[in-house]
Amino acid sequence: MSDNTHILIVDDDSEIRSLLARYLGGQGFRISVAADRRECESRIADGSPELIVLDVMLPDGSGLDICRDLQQRRPRIPVILLTALKEDVDRIIGLELGADDYLGKPFNPRELVARIKAVLRRAGRDEPPAPETRIYAFADFEANPELRSVIDRTGAEVDLTGAEFDLLRVFLERPGRLLSRDQLLDMTQGRHRDPLDRSIDVLMSRLRRKLGDGDRGSLFKTVRNGGYQLVVPVKTMTDAQ
């Protein structure tokens, strides 16, 4: 999975950069490092990283600003944010800006590797995509898992991040089923939810907004203390239909 995958580590702490570079390099990744936003932009321009491990606090700006800029790029580079344990607001904002995952400091490098592999898997960067002919039709939309795209009834593409598409796909594969936050986090990110983890709620809010699902919940239903439920019919088609 990790052979030649290019990871960019952005952190102003030289010890953390060195530790992660050695550890991730030992796992088979190709590593670049940057100490600030300026170096990060230079590495992105020169090396085309396939994933960025990005510290929120940088000496010449915020990692959140970098995350916002990356959201405008096509194709967008997946991002894992590194945050201090008490920076809950930054974690939430980072997810709203399109970060794919976050990890609180201090952390175990093995957990970071697991997160990296999960994000790469979701982004389809670790291996060639398997043949996929299914297309999901729901409400006024069509979702194509192979292209990881959602098209509305006018033919316009709905701009979803990788994490948002993964969340939508979980619902499309289980229409009408009530899914708890713990189930959704496990199915989309392969990890257990911390009691204070609001990442699923943030992703749901973004997904509903982008699909035009208003307060009345025509697509999704929120069940108090239960989770979320896709309440519209889903039709599975093939690209030949």
Residues 29 and 118 in one domain: yes
CATH number for 203: 1.10.10.10
Name which of 6-20, 74-88, 148-162, 198-212 the model is least confident about. 74-88
Examine the domain organization and report whether 113 and 39 are in the same domain: yes
Q: Give the model confidence (pLDDT) of 101-128 as tens digits.
A: 888 888 889 999 999 998 888 776 545 4
Longest dimension (CA), the chain: 56
**Same domain flag for 115 and 10:** yes
- 89 with 138, same domain? no
pLDDT digits (tens, 9 = 90+) for 194-239: 666 688 898 999 999 999 986 556 899 999 888 999 999 999 987 5
Residue 64, token pair as written in the block: 């959140």
Task: Provide the pLDDT for residue 211.
Answer: 94
Element (H, E) at 32: strand 30-34
Domain endpoint, select from 67, 88, 123: 123
Burial 62-83 (b: 16+ CB within 10 A, else e): bbbebbbebbeeeebbbbbbbb
Residue 129 belongs to a domain: no
pLDDT value for 174: 92
Tokens of 203: 């992703």
